[in-house]
């Protein structure tokens, strides 16, 4: 890692000191974990009743209620969560977009979440998403000690998801940092991402140029990941079409996140680095100011 990249991590780590990751109605319960999730699970904290359905664990039948009402009811308990955050970094080349703050923001945001997780008493581990999913070298240590967070993979992170074999901590918090700019069904990725996770946060990191490309006349557009070229005369109509495509793409992810219970948010790199205000994540109760 270069000194500059390490400075980016340090910058994010400093900003993360003011925040702590959280889950709604965070409770320290049981032996299995220090936090509980919002979904029904196997913790000792009672949450609700529901009617018995075939296959339910008979140990959770409320026999007292059965005695009173002659109906089989199942006691629902809060899910038990692990206080651990897996921070998944999309290391494709698009995250290192030329002449943008995107690579800086990506590394800094990863360090930010690691610091915020630490503030919340979570352990944290950084992962690189490329052709395979591999832990960042020294990724469980403080961010400034991470090694080789290179954003140079010529492909999409979907490649890594499709290979499977993820070793993320069950019932932990998973934070996925990516520009999400690849073609494919988001559900395919999100199913892997949310499987056995207590909460999943998808942060789309975009450069300002990704969000609002300038009106540039004749441009030879070069794809950062594939080096494919497209020559276009950029006028209002083309920009409008681009923005429509981006909005449609974000809507797809948003919808898929809702379906899988993940939280979806977008950050613009340049804007975020100015003040580190992550209001959307605070509003979604993923972060809280400490």
Partner 1 sequence: MPHFTYPIALGGLIALPLLVGIYLLRNRYRRQAVSSLLLWLDPREARTGGPRIDRLQTPLLFFLELLLLLLVILAAAGPHLPLSQGGRPLVVILDDSFSMLAGEPDSPRAAAVKALEEELRRIGRSSIRFVLAGDKPVLLGEATDSPAAALRTLQEWRCRSASAAISEAVTLASEVGGEVAALLVITDHAPKDAIETGRLQWRAFGQKRDNWAFVNAVRTQRDGTDRCLLEIANLSDRERSTTLTIETDGNMERRSLKLKPNEVHRRTFQLKEGAGLLRAHLDDDELAIDNQVSLLPAPIRKVRVQLSLADSVLRTQAEKALRATRSMELTSDRPALVVTDAAAPPELTGDTWALHLTGGEEKAAYDGPFVLDRAHPLTEGLSLQGVMWAPGTKGELPGSPVVLAGNVALLTDTEDSAGRHLLRLRLRHDISNLLESPSWPVLLANLVQWRGGFLPGLGRSSIRLGEEVILTLTNTSDEVRLIAPDKAERRLNVQEGRVVARGEQVGIYEIRQGDDKYPFAVNALSGEESDLRNADSGTWGDWLDDAALRLDYRSIGWLLVVIALGVAVIHLLLVARLKRSTQP
Instruction: Give me 189's structure tokens.
Output: 């990725």
Instruction: Yes or no: say if 265 and 204 are a contact pair by the CB < 8 Å rule.
Output: yes
Provide Rg for the chain, Cα atoms: 21
Q: Whole-number minimum distance, CB 215 to partner 1, in Å?
A: 12
Name which of 22 and 106 has its Cβ closer to partner 1. Answer: 106
**Beta-carbon-side half-sphere exposure of residue 282 (alpha carbons within 13 Å):** 10
Name which of 190 and 269 has its Cβ closer to partner 1. Answer: 269
Q: Whole-number minimum distance, CB 111 to partner 1, in Å?
A: 21
Q: Give Cβ neighbours of residue 183 (< 8 Å, ≥ 6 apart).
A: none
Name which of 108 and 181 has its Cβ closer to partner 1. Answer: 181
CA-closest candidate to residue 177, choices 108, 273, 238, 97: 108
Q: Which residues of 24-59 are buried (b: 16+ CB within 10 A; e: fewer)?
A: eebbebbebbbbbbbebbebeeeeeeeebeeeeeee
Q: Whole-number minimum distance, CB 229 to partner 1, in Å?
A: 6
Q: Whole-number minimum distance, CB 12 to partner 1, in Å?
A: 20
Which residues form the interface with partner 1 (CB under 8 A)?
A: 94-95, 97-99, 102, 179, 181-183, 206-207, 209-210, 213, 216-226, 228-232, 237-238, 241-242, 245-246, 249
Name which of 98 and 274 has its Cβ closer to partner 1. Answer: 98
Name which of 28 and 232 has its Cβ closer to partner 1. Answer: 232
Q: Whole-number minimum distance, CB 189 to partner 1, in Å?
A: 15
Q: Whole-number minimum distance, CB 9 to partner 1, in Å?
A: 21
How far, in Å, CA of 96 to CA of 30, rounded?
Answer: 43
Q: Whole-number minimum distance, CB 94 to partner 1, in Å?
A: 4
Helix, strand, or coil (residue 253): helix
Angle between helices 236-260 and 186-194 (to 10 degrees): 30
Name which of 100 and 123 has its Cβ closer to partner 1. Answer: 100
Helix, strand, or coil (residue 164): coil
Handedness of CA 7, 211, 93, 156 (dihedral sign): positive
Name which of 19 and 153 has its Cβ closer to partner 1. Answer: 153
């Amino acid at each position: 890692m270069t000194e500059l990249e390490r400075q980016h991590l340090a910058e994010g780590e400093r900003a993360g000191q003011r925040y702590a990751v959280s889950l709604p109605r965070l409770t320290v319960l049981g032996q299995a974990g220090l936090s509980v999730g919002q979904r029904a699970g196997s913790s000792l904290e009672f949450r609700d009743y529901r009617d018995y359905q075939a296959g339910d664990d008979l140990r959770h039948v409320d026999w007292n209620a059965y005695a009173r009402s002659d109906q089989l009811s199942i006691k629902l308990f809060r899910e038990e969560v692990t206080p651990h955050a897996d921070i998944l970094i999309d290391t494709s080349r698009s995250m290192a977009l030329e002449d943008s703050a995107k690579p800086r923001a990506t590394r800094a945001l990863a360090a930010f979440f690691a610091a915020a997780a630490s503030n919340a008493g979570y352990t944290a581990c950084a992962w690189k998403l490329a052709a395979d999913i591999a832990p960042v070298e020294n990724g469980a240590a403080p961010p400034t000690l991470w090694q080789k967070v290179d954003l140079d993979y010529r492909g999409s992170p979907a490649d890594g998801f499709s290979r499977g074999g993820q070793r993320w901590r069950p019932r932990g918090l998973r934070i996925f940092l990516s520009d999400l700019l690849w073609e494919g069904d988001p559900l395919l990725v999100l199913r892997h991402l949310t499987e056995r996770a207590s909460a999943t946060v998808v942060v789309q990191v975009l450069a300002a140029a990704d969000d609002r490309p300038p009106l540039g006349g004749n441009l030879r557009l070069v794809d950062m990941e594939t080096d494919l070229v497209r020559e276009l005369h950029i006028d209002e109509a083309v920009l409008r079409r681009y923005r429509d495509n981006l909005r449609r793409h974000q809507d797809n992810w948003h919808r898929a996140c809702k379906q899988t219970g993940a939280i979806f948010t977008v950050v613009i790199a340049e804007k975020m680095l100015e003040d580190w205000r992550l209001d959307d994540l605070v509003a979604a109760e993923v972060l809280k100011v400490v």
